[in-house]
Amino acid sequence: MPAQPKPRKLRTLQLVTVIFFTVSGGPFGLEALLGYAHEHAALLLLLVTPLLWDIPAMFMVLELNSMMPVTGGYYQWVKHALGMRWGLFEGWWTWLYTFADLAIYPVLFVMYASYFVPIEGVWKVAMCLLIIWGSAGINILGIVPVGKVAQLLSIIVIAPFILLFVIFAQRHTGSFALPAPSLKGLPYPSLGSAIYIVMWNCFGWDNVTTYADEVERPERAYLRSVFMAFLLMMVVYVGVIITAQLSHIGYKEFAEKGMPALGELVAGRWLGIVLSIGGMASAIGLYAANLLAVSRLPKVMADDELMPARLHALHPRFGTPYVSIIVCSVVISLMTFWDFGDLVIIDVTIYGAGLFLEYITLIKMRIREPSRPRPFRVPLSTTWLCALLILPVGVYSIALSGVMIAQGNALKPALFAIGCLLSAEVVWRIVLWRKPHLRA
Tell me what the pLDDT averaged over the chain comes to.
84
Give the tens place of pLDDT for each residue, 220-251: 778 788 888 899 899 999 999 999 999 999 98
Q: Sketch the domain layout of the chain as residue ranges.
A: 12-439
Give the tens place of pLDDT for each residue, 375-419: 888 888 999 999 888 999 899 898 888 877 765 666 778 888 899
Give the pLDDT confidence score for residue 212 in this predicted structure. 64
Residue 294 carries which DSSP code?
H
Question: Could you give phi then psi for residue 148, rounded to 5 degrees?
Answer: -65, -40
CA angle 334, 339, 341 (to 5 degrees): 135
- CATH architecture, range 12-439: Up-down Bundle (1.20)
Does residue 102 register a pLDDT over 90? no
Residue 125 vs residues 28, 109, 118, 122, 341: alpha-carbon distances, Å: 21, 12, 13, 5, 18
For 77-86, 334-343, 351-360, 414-423, which range has the lowest pLDDT when averaged over its residues?
A: 334-343
Does residue 308 register a pLDDT over 70? yes
What is the residue-wise DSSP string for 65-111? HHH---BTTHHHHHHHHH-HHHHHHHHHHHHHHHHHHHHHHHHHHHH
Residues 219, 222, 225, 231: is their CA dihedral positive or negative? negative
Give the pLDDT confidence score for residue 90 in this predicted structure. 93
Task: Give the separation between CA 30 and CA 243, rounded to whole angstroms.
Answer: 13
In this structure, the number of other CB atoms found within 10 A of the CB of residue 173 comes to 4
Give the pLDDT confidence score for residue 143 in this predicted structure. 60
Give the tens place of pLDDT for each residue, 13-45: 778 877 887 788 789 889 899 999 988 999 999
Most confident by average pLDDT, 198-207, 262-271, 344-353, 394-403: 262-271
For 13-22, 273-282, 347-356, which range has the lowest pLDDT when averaged over its residues?
A: 13-22
What is the residue-wise DSSP string for 213-271? GGBSSHHHHHHHHHHHHHHHHHHHHHHHHHHHHHHT--HHHHHHH-HHHHHHHHH-HHH
Segment 151-166 mean pLDDT: 88
Question: Could you give phi then psi for residue 71, rounded to 5 degrees?
Answer: -60, 135
Task: Give the separation between CA 240 and CA 350, rounded to whole angstroms.
Answer: 28
